[in-house]
Amino acid sequence: LAENFDGHLPVHQAMTTTPVTIESNSLVFEAMLLMSEHNIHHLPVVDHGVATGVVTSTDILRGQSSQPLLLIGEIERQKDLQSLIQVSKQIPLLLQNLISADARAEEIGRVLTSVTDALTRRLIVLNQQILGEAPMAFCWLAFGSQGRQDQAACSDQDNGLLLAHEPDEAAQGYFDALSHAVCKGLDECGYIYCPGDIMAQNPKWRMSLEKWQHVFNRWVNTPEPKALMHASIFFDMRSVYGPKTLFDG
């Protein structure tokens, strides 16, 4: 009805056929993370494939004194970099609240990482509004502590870009501008530039799927010291933004 469908329409034509779900023994921060990643506010709760209830963002906010979902919601509402910088100044208070609530280190890492993910996605969206639509599908990759979802306070950046195919000169220019803008934005929000330059703004870490596969194969098959160092960073990898089908490839 909210979508102006006819009230006589069969439910199966209006429902979400494959909704994101969560199991009842999952932790609250896992529900928060799913809601943030998929930009949804309701999660069906299932046990062994049977729905047993629904948890909403409002339910979580009522029970969370630190209110990380509220902070993530604020991030998603910001319209420019300066407002994102102001919102990011609330992250130390979030960390303090989590520690005061005796949250486990694992929980703190997941919550802080979910905030970093939200900031990254918002920076990508805002800069695409300036630069225009991307010339091809891409994934923004997170490595290291963000990839493992165990970030601590004052984490630096470790990121890269996965491109659907080899870029031409125009596409290279687009992704160079986008990655520099996003990395700069993260730095200004408190996530300092990687001392080792493992960032999407470095052309070395912006590659097509085929080239990423070649690089990973070389590291695995040639276990020299530098390859082992890179493996320790890059093998903790997640896609923060972009089509899941490309990342799974």
What residues have CB less than 8 Å from 154, skipping those under 6 apart? 190, 192
Of 82-96, 120-134, 165-179, least confident by mean pLDDT is: 82-96
- Answer whether residue 63 shows pLDDT above 60: no
Coil vs helix vs strand at 208:
strand
Which tokens in the block code for residue 109?
């890492």
- Answer whether residue 184 shows pLDDT above 80: yes
Average pLDDT over residues 180-207: 96
Q: Is residue 155 part of a domain?
A: yes
* Percent of residues in the chain assigned helix, strand, coil, to nearest 5: 55, 15, 35
CB–CB of 27/63 below 8 Å? no
- Answer whether residue 210 shows pLDDT above 80: yes
Among 58, 51, 63, 70, which Cα is nearest to 27's? 63
Average pLDDT over residues 180-192: 97
Give the percent of the chain with pLDDT over 90: 58
Q: Is residue 55 part of a domain?
A: no
**In CATH, what number is assigned to the domain containing residue 70?**
3.30.460.10
Give the percent of the chain with pLDDT over 70: 96
Q: Is residue 95 part of a domain?
A: yes
Residue-level pLDDT at 62: 60
Distance CA 207, CA 9 (A): 46
Q: Is residue 44 part of a domain?
A: no
- Answer whether residue 116 shows pLDDT above 80: yes
Q: Which helix (H) or strand (E) holds 162?
A: strand 159-163
192 secondary structure, DSSP code: P
Among 234, 119, 246, 124, which Cα is nearest to 175's? 124
Residue-level pLDDT at 190: 94
Q: Which helix (H) or strand (E) holds 206?
A: strand 206-208
Average pLDDT over residues 166-176: 97
Q: Is residue 46 part of a domain?
A: no
Which tokens in the block code for residue 6?
């006819």
Q: Is residue 133 part of a domain?
A: yes
Residue with tokens 């031409």: 168
User: Per-residue DSSP letters for 44-94?
Assistant: EEEETTEEEEEEEHHHHHHH-SS-HHHHHHHHHH--SHHHHHHHHTTHHHH
- At residue 88 the predicted structure's pLDDT band, cuts being 50, 70 and 90, is very high
* Domain residue limits at 198: 64-248
- At residue 141 the predicted structure's pLDDT band, cuts being 50, 70 and 90, is very high
- Beta partners for residue 208, in sequence order: 163
Q: What is the mean pLDDT of the chain?
A: 89
CB–CB of 1/25 below 8 Å? no
- Answer whether residue 10 shows pLDDT above 90: no
CA atoms within 13 A on the CB side of 249: 18
Counted domains in the chain: 1
Q: Is residue 157 part of a domain?
A: yes
Q: Is residue 45 part of a domain?
A: no
Higher pLDDT, 5 or 46: 46
Q: Which own/partner contact pairs does 210-213 have at CB distance under 8 Å and 24+ positions apart?
A: 210/165, 210/166, 211/166, 212/162
Give the 3-state DSSP-derived string for 78-142, with helices as H, strands as E and coil as C. Answer: CCCHHHHHHHHCCHHHHHHHHHHCCCCHHHHHHHHHHHHHHHHHHHHHHHHHHHCCCCCCEEEEE
Higher pLDDT, 177 or 26: 177
Distance CA 167, CA 207 (A): 8
Average pLDDT over residues 172-193: 97
Phi, psi of 43 (to 5 degrees): -125, 115
Coil vs helix vs strand at 240:
strand
- Answer whether residue 26 shows pLDDT above 90: no
